[in-house]
Amino acid sequence: MHGVRELGLVVTTIFVSAALSAVPAAGIERAGDGPLDWQLCRGGTTECATLGVPLDDTVADSPTIDVALLRVPARDQSRRIGSLLVNPGGPGAPGRDFAADIAEGLPAPIRDRFDIVGFDPRGTGETIPVRCTDELDPLYSTDWDPDSADERTALEDANRAFVDSCRRIAGDRLDYVSSDRTVRDMERIRVALGDEQLSYLGFSYGSFLGAKYAEAHPDRVRALVLDGAVDPSLDAMTYQVQQAAGFEHSLDLFLEACARSGDCAFAQGKDPGTAYDELRARADATPIPAGDGRVLNETLFDIGVTELLYDGENSWSTLDDALATAGDGDGSDLVFSADLYTGRDDDGLYDNAQAAFTAIGCADGPPVGDAAGLRAIEDAAERAAPRVGASIINNSMACAFWPISSPPPAVVAAPESAPILVLGTRDDPATPIVWAHGLAEQLGSGRLVTAGGAQHTAFAQGNACVDRIVVRYLVRGVAPKDRRRC
């Protein structure tokens, strides 16, 4: 889904360039599914395995690919309920190592009674990772909020070059990384784990995977937690403009808090909104030095700010400091924040986050149309979100030139499944609360819980009410009444 992106995820991927339709790439072989061979990894009791699944399950005798898995065993094996499959979001975020990272932060009843299992969805991590180019500086050096015809031409040309590199380097594997295929992999993972039904915790874009699974396998749903929910029924205009407005609202909350407190360093006694606009315009007109020969341009300014808005109030002081440092002529803090988003390392090379985000998001839709269609969405987003709208929309510009068509939006319904827990945060910047309402309603089996806060997602964020509901649901299978507020 265009625009839903998890940030700060740095992974090491293994990539071998090959066209899958010709010679199978590394990790692809002709073999049948077999039992999972768990091996200790990462120290302690953590285990890793791979599961062979068909590259193309719509044809007979397909070559297989290896889906990378990780399991953190339940601490109380005598009372073990089963596996809890987890997904961090994205699209494009690997989930294998995420399971190890999140396990120790989960409430004790979940950690004690479930094996926490993560997997790298197709196109990410070590599951046929999509690679386009390691050098994305030219893309991020363009202006994602273009002020002239020349700047717009440069932005479109950079995106065309990026798309060309994806098709050239990733080859035919771009045809096999859609979420529908990943959902079918999830069912194979459930079977391989030996669970009669699926227990699942999916964040952000991970909620889309969970909803699609419930639609395809309603009788296999034990308990699904869909946090930071995505509404798959929205067209591209509505979807992207609402997300841009969500980030704009989050930024407004920060600026309003600065105005009330009167002590935000970057404002230097001015109205915080005015000070912010002046600093952003300065980065646009004359990029601010950021060390090591780099500069903070308007694009990296917007990305760096957006990355910090995901954490809500927890990052407001960090955002204030980064803006103040930029105001003093040092853009390195915001560039560092932007690098977390884009996956850039100190050597100037990028992980495959942008490539996977684009490949999966463009394949899933909703369709943005051609460059003119995206421009119409950008114009609407700028009206709804004048500070961040253009950059939010143009993060998906590659989809306007993508060689694979995407399906139209559609309602995802699973009225015959067990109750599904849908979580929404009332001031979530990335997945607006209205999306959680929409998904819960269209599922037919959804039970909506809303939480206060300005951060992205609600579970394990310090809200004891939300955490109690999730624990009771996952451990005891007791779903709350619909439209519960925390």
Q: Tell me, what's the pLDDT at 251? A: 98
Indicate if the pLDDT at residue 34 is higher than 80.
no
Q: Tell me, what's the pLDDT at 27? A: 37
Q: Tell me, what's the pLDDT at 481? A: 85
Angle at 457 between CA 3 and CA 482, to 5 degrees: 110
Indicate if the pLDDT at residue 29 is higher than 80.
no
| pLDDT tens-digit map of 293-331 | 999 999 999 999 999 999 999 999 999 999 999 999 999
> How far is the C-alpha of 37 from the C-alpha of 438, rounded, in Å?
40
Q: Tell me, what's the pLDDT at 384? A: 98
| Tokens linked to 56 | 């193309």
Kindly list the catalytic residues. 204, 428, 456
Flag the least confident range among 5-14, 291-300, 398-407: 5-14
Q: Tell me, what's the pLDDT at 7? A: 36
| Tokens linked to 343 | 């996956």
Indicate if the pLDDT at residue 395 is higher than 90.
yes
> How far is the C-alpha of 63 from the C-alpha of 58, rounded, in Å?
12
Indicate if the pLDDT at residue 274 is higher than 60.
yes
Q: pLDDT confidence of 35, banded at 50, 70, 90?
A: confident
Q: Tell me, what's the pLDDT at 3? A: 54
Buried b (16+ CB within 10 A) or exposed e, 172-203: ebbbbbbbebbbbbbebbbebbebeebbbbbb
Q: pLDDT confidence of 345, banded at 50, 70, 90?
A: very high
| Domain range annotation of the chain | 33-129+177-233+410-486, 137-170+240-401
Work out the average pLDDT over 364-393.
96
| pLDDT tens-digit map of 126-177 | 999 999 998 899 999 999 999 999 999 999 999 999 999 999 999 999 999 9
Query: Which residues fall within 8 angstroms of residue 9, CB to CB, at 6 or more apart?
Result: 88, 93, 94, 98, 343, 353
Indicate if the pLDDT at residue 72 is higher than 50.
yes
Indicate if the pLDDT at residue 25 is higher than 50.
no
Q: Which of the two residues, 166 and 13, has the higher pLDDT score?
A: 166
Q: pLDDT confidence of 106, banded at 50, 70, 90?
A: very high
Indicate if the pLDDT at residue 110 is higher than 80.
yes
Q: What CATH superfamily is the domain 33-129+177-233+410-486?
A: Alpha/Beta hydrolase fold, catalytic domain (3.40.50.1820)
